[in-house]
Amino acid sequence: MSTAAAKSFRSARTADFTESVIREMSRLAVAHGAVNLAQGFPDFAAPLDLKQAAIDAINADHNQYPITWGTKPFRDAIARKYARTYDLTADPQTEITVCCGATEGMIASLLAVCDPGDEVVVFEPFYENYHPDTMLCGATRKLVTLYAPDWTFDPAELRAAFSPRTKAIIINTPNNPTGKVFNLQELTFIAELCQEFDALAITDEIYEHITFDGEKHIPIMTLPGMRDRSILINSMSKTFSVTGWRVGWVLASPDLTNSIRKVHDFLTVGAATPLQQAGVMALDQHDDYFNGLSAEYSGRRTAAISMLEGAGFRCFNPHGAYYVMTDISAFGAKNDVAFARHLVENIGVAAVPGSSFYSRPELGANQLRFCFCKKFETLQAAGERLARLGRG
């Protein structure tokens, strides 16, 4: 046995990676028997007809490797859905790549377009994956603040974040964790910057059908000059309550798609064949299903906000997605992490510390994020537990 000092086999690229706080909170929730309002997955059933379609696909032996960039019927269904919903035409042969969730869609896209030294603009607070994603590509993140309570950005700050080195901006709308839905004016401003600085817009649109208060989701790809300058990422996870299926897709011009497909092929080969088959039925269904999601989640949002406000949290009202960011100042806790631990260990509710959405922990030290993609009885159980919280 060697007596030499232990050598680290870890790559420099991953040295700064931390464990996902969100998934850690989920684990703690299980360990402490807490109600899990941390990780964004539904605890209610996925649509029955969708599950049946998956079972049928397995029984019909759609069980082998798919074409790496997605089965033809599923890519066709994706194209039909975008044509119907946004009048957005995408060629299934050359412009659509099916991948393992939006997660793979984002890293495959960034790896396909970024070289070390490139800059990627990201709004803060951010969905936590975007940081490791940019690090894996050797790109540098340029952060632009979304200011509470409305999570608006300062156009001058956004402009200052762009430079000749900017390769892309990542836009997540409707937004996790803030619930912001970027409006036409904001998207137009971003689109103009992308054109001025010859940069791409990479959009994470997985909450597209969960919007409230009359807000409507707009894919930046549909704005003038943005069709070939955007990479649109989406997935079945949130729209169909199947976060474990790991089926997503990327829309991009043929040139970009060509690179994205190569990365995707070597990363994962393909997303599960029978679940793509079930996805055809899912995407082709009547628009009532998609329109109904907002109404459905609106009720859960009301229930979540009322139980959180009742327990003393200040809520930032979300206009989309299924999270509520809250201000925890009233509780006089040391910081968000200590308070989240107290909640999960002693009160029995798991939430995500605000600092996990910021580059510097102090920026999120007074915030916690709760998700409301849960049964009403789950939200009620969380409310009963949170009512035990003492303030300040």
Ligand X SMILES: Cc1ncc(COP(=O)(O)O)c(C=O)c1O
| Shortest spacing between CB 244 and ligand X, in angstroms | 9
Long-range contacts of 357-364 (CB under 8 A, 24+ apart): 357/124, 357/125, 357/126, 357/127, 357/128, 357/177, 358/124, 358/125, 358/126, 359/124, 359/131, 359/141, 359/143, 361/335, 361/336, 361/337, 363/124, 363/125, 364/125, 364/336
Could you write out the DSSP letters of every residue in 288-306?
HHHHHHHHHHHHHHHHHHH
> Which residue ranges make up the site for ligand X (CB under 6 A)?
40, 101-103, 127, 172, 176, 204, 206, 235, 237, 243, 248
* Cβ distance to ligand X smaller for residue 92 or 177: 177
Nearer to ligand X, 82 or 127 (CB): 127
| Nearest-approach distance from CB 67 to ligand X, in angstroms | 20
Q: Is the Cβ of residue 176 or residue 257 nearer to ligand X in the bound state?
A: 176
Minimum distance, C-beta of residue 153 to ligand X, in the bound complex (Å): 17
Give 153's DSSP letter.
-
Question: In terms of CB distance, is 280 or 352 closer to ligand X?
Answer: 352
| Short-list 77, 120, 113, 128, CA closest to 98 | 77
Q: Which C-beta is closer to ligand X: that of 180 or that of 385?
A: 180
Question: Least separation, in Å, of the C-beta of 242 and ligand X?
Answer: 9
CB closer to ligand X out of 54 and 102: 102
Which of residues 194 and 250 has its CB atom nearest to ligand X in the complex?
250
Q: Rounded to whole angstroms, what are the CA distances from 191 to 173, 194, 199, 200, 234?
A: 14, 5, 9, 9, 19
Q: Which is nearer to ligand X, 244 or 299 (CB)?
A: 244
Output the smallest distance, CB 233 to ligand X, in A. Answer: 8
Closest residue to ligand X, based on beta-carbon distance: 101
Q: How far is the CB of 156 from ligand X (least distance, A)?
A: 26
**Secondary structure of residue 287 in the 3-state scheme:** helix
* Phi, psi for residue 76 in degrees, rounded to 5: -65, -40
Beta bridge partners of 203: 171, 232
Contacts 24+ apart (CB under 8 A), 298-306: 298/212, 299/376, 300/372, 300/373, 300/374, 300/376, 300/379, 301/212, 301/372, 303/372, 303/376, 303/379, 303/380, 304/37, 304/370, 304/372, 304/379, 306/383
CA distance 337 to 333: 9
Q: Specify the residue, 300 or 385, whose C-beta has the smaller distance to ligand X.
A: 300
Q: How far is the CB of 164 from ligand X (least distance, A)?
A: 28
Q: CB count, 10 Å around CB of 142?
A: 18
Name the minimum Å distance from CB 88 to ligand X: 20
The nearest distance, CB 133 to ligand X, in angstroms, is 10
